[in-house]
Each structure stands twice: as C-alpha cells, then as structure tokens.
Amino acid sequence: MNIFIPLIAGVLVGYVLRRKERRVNVDAPMSIALLLLIFFMGVEAGKVKIDALWLLSSSIVFAALTIAGSVGIALLVGGRG
C-alpha cells in the first residue's frame, strides 16, 4: 500500500530532525494541506448526482448511526475515562 511510503519517509525525516535537535513546526503546512484536501473532497461529493431525497436522508441516517454505534462500543471497551 503506497500510503506507507510518504508516511515512513516522513517519520524518518522527522526522526533525523529530532536527532539533530532541529525541530520543524509543521502546523501551518498541515493546516493548508488539510484545507485543500477537504476542498477536493467537497468537489468529489458535489459531483455525485442525487436523484432522490431518500438517498440523501438514508445516507445521513446510516452515517449518524454507524458513528453512534462505533463511538458507543468504543466507550464500552475503552471506558469513559
């Protein structure tokens, strides 16, 4: 899976920077890249043609209930802390 390539490369770069005690602040580039990614995600979502209100409302119900189910089980296995 090629998602590992930039991740491992980044970890190595970060580790080298840490060893050299030259910490780089990645907050700003991460925010910019994240906003661009969300914009592109929105573009893809906007292209989807929704013919029926049913499809949209069903998607929202599924998304909300699957999130609620996952979070509920997470609270059971991990505790409320």
Partner 1 sequence: MRFLVYVLVALITGILTGHFYAPEFGNLYEVMLYLLILIIGIDLGQSFRLAEIRKLGRLAIKLPLGTLLGSLLGGLAASLLLGIELRWGLAVAAGCGWYSLTGPLIAQYSAVYGTLGFLANLTREIFTVLLYPVAIGKMRKELAVSMGGATTMDTTLPIMTKFGGSEVALIAFVHGFVLTALVPFVVPFILQLLAGG
Instruction: Find the shortest distance in angstroms from Cβ 5 to partner 1.
Output: 8
Give me the count of residues in the chain: 81
53 binds partner 1 (CB under 8 A): no
List the end-to-end C-alpha distance of the chain, in Å, as a whole number: 35
| DSSP characters over 36-73 | HHHHHHHHHHHHS----HHHHHHHHHHHHHHHHHHHHH
47 binds partner 1 (CB under 8 A): yes
Site for partner 1 in 13-42 (CB under 8 A): 13-18, 23-24, 26, 29-31, 33-42
Structure tokens of 29? Answer: 């580039």
Instruction: Find the shortest distance in angstroms from Cβ 27 to partner 1.
Output: 8
- Residues lying near partner 1 in the complex (CB under 8 A) are found at 1-3, 5-18, 23-24, 26, 29-31, 33-48, 50, 55-56, 58-78, 80-81
